[in-house]
Structure 1
Amino acid sequence: MTTITRNGPRIGVLVPYTNCNIEPDMQLLCPPGATIHCARMGGYDVDEIPGSDQMAGLGSSDISEPLMLLSGVRPHAILYGCTSATLTHGPAFDADLSERIKSGSGALSLTAAGSLVAAIQALGAARVGFASPYLGEINDQAMRFLSGQGIETVKCHDVGRPLGNYGQGELTPDEVFELALQADHPDAQAIVLSCTDMRSVECITRVEAALGKPVVTSNQAMMFCLMRALDLPRHDDAPGRLFDLL
């Protein structure tokens, strides 16, 4: 039987209850010795197309119970695993939610949206290409969110059709790769792939090789910010130029 070292940080993740990809991504990105612990949160209708109102509702929903249950493992950090839930409210809401999670758990708290911004800024990028599986209205809010943090979106690209709560996670890595290529622009200094349920982590290396530019994804950005905050070194399974900054 293989023995797994478990002497690293315990990482808690708050996961939208239909999200099928953040947990596999976190396992792929997890630093040696660290462990991943997840709690699911609701606050939205699985049968509705996830538009701005639904994602804003998720962001403002009561997370006290999943946060309490997740706090039972005494996590060193808690990641809020939905990007659009706070993109739809703006940077001030995102920062406040992070503080509320920290106050309720005593752990380092990082959101997906806040981590995207921090990762882009760590790369020194001021102009980005942006791709997502979101409806257009959420993309507009995402661009305003980034603009408020001094980041200009020089091109935005989406899948061109409304996707349900499961459809976003069903995009293949090949489809995400093509989505990323369509978001490129001569002025873009980095490519941003937003959504914790999109299979972006698996194509980071491929996109960077094709475009010669760094890629930032929601789940990768959260893990980067966590590793930087906890002073953890890069490991072999951490993909992308972003992790070269550790």
Structure 2
Amino acid sequence: MRYLSRGTARIGVLVPFTNTNLEADMALMRPQGVSFHYARLGGYDRDEIPDEKQMAGLGASDLDEPLALLLGVRPDVVMYGCTSATLTHGPQFDADLSRKITDLSGAATVTAAGALVFALKALGATRIGFASPYVPKINDDAVAFLQSCGVTTLHRSEVMGTLDNYSQGELTPQKVFDLGRAADHPDAQAIVLSCTDMRSVEIIDRLEAELGKPVITSNQAMLFQALHHLGLGYADGFGNLFTSLERGTA
């Protein structure tokens, strides 16, 4: 059968301008017939540490120009591709941003932070291990965000030292695997790897095999929720989350 490069659905993605992994992850996971279209987000200094102040500033930055450019392709779904930008503001901000993008675009909207919650609810997971490349304060914000959505973090792992906007994306898959494994807890029902610029998608299957539980990543969760909006199934790997969608259990 001829492989379809487009024609089923178009997904527009708003991606931070220093992010080098979100697009690559979507290329890896792209379902047949679904095309991805990107616009870059500014609103932060690439040479500064991506701490809670910088990420909160990104979340509050003006989306009018990048969103207007993205709407030129008439997307069926729009993804907001930064997890920490709304984690730092809280669930209400995240929901309001999603509604704003939908109102302006007419498309279903998926935020990275909201997609993590959506994926965990789809799996029925309320107790997790959490890992990210963030500074500790953003991890605090993330744990609080998830807790307010009914998800308890039993254990978390963090990187040693402080990573800049490029170092987060330069973590090797092995380092991401080790970070995820260190986040596990005997009572955790799933592991969350948060950050759209961390190379998590490449190690999902390996980490699930190691830990015997689902692994949820920001980019995987965004695609999962987008496919849910589109009514499309998915069966080509990248974790138990997509398997649940294909079985119709999500």
Indicate whether the TM-score tops 0.5: yes
Tell me the secondary structure at the aligned position of residue 157 of structure 1: strand
Q: Check conservation: 1:31, 1:235, Cα contact below 8 A.
A: no
Q: Note if 1:152 corresponds to 2:145.
A: no
- Provide TM-score, normalisation by structure 1: 0.97
**What is the CA distance between 1:52 and its match in structure 2?**
0.3
Counterpart-to-counterpart distance in 2, 1:161 and 1:5: 41
Counterpart-to-counterpart distance in 2, 1:240 and 1:168: 22
Write the deviation string for residues 56-115 of structure 1: whole angstroms up to 9, x where unpaired: 000000010000000000000000000000000000000000011111111110000000
The residue aligned with 2:242 is 243
Counterpart-to-counterpart distance in 1, 2:142 and 2:21: 21
Q: Note if 1:140 corresponds to 2:140.
A: yes
The residue aligned with 1:91 is 91
**What is the CA distance between 1:230 and its match in structure 2?**
1.0
Q: Check conservation: 2:77, 2:108, Cα contact below 8 A.
A: yes
Q: Note if 1:51 corresponds to 2:51.
A: yes
Q: Check conservation: 2:4, 2:32, Cα contact below 8 A.
A: no
Tell me the secondary structure at the aligned position of residue 160 of structure 1: coil
Counterpart-to-counterpart distance in 1, 2:132 and 2:186: 19
- Provide TM-score, normalisation by structure 2: 0.96
Tell me the secondary structure at the aligned position of residue 23 of structure 1: helix
- Describe how 1:118-197 pairs up with structure 2 within 5 A: 118-197=118-197
Q: Residue type of the partner of 1:239? A: F
Tell me the secondary structure at the aligned position of residue 156 of structure 2: strand
% same residue = 61
Tell me the secondary structure at the aligned position of residue 25 of structure 2: helix
Counterpart-to-counterpart distance in 1, 2:229 and 2:9: 12
- Describe how 1:208-219 pairs up with structure 2 within 5 A: 208-219=208-219
Q: Check conservation: 1:234, 1:243, Cα contact below 8 A.
A: yes
Counterpart-to-counterpart distance in 1, 2:229 and 2:128: 24
Structure 2 spans left out of the alignment, 5+ residues? 246-250
Structure 1 spans left out of the alignment, 5+ residues? none
The alignment yields a C-alpha RMSD, in angstroms, of 1.0
Counterpart-to-counterpart distance in 1, 2:3 and 2:160: 46
Q: Check conservation: 1:32, 1:235, Cα contact below 8 A.
A: no
Q: Check conservation: 2:169, 2:198, Cα contact below 8 A.
A: yes
The residue aligned with 1:18 is 18
- Describe how 1:109-120 pairs up with structure 2 within 5 A: 109-120=109-120
Counterpart-to-counterpart distance in 1, 2:190 and 2:6: 34
Q: Check conservation: 1:127, 1:152, Cα contact below 8 A.
A: yes
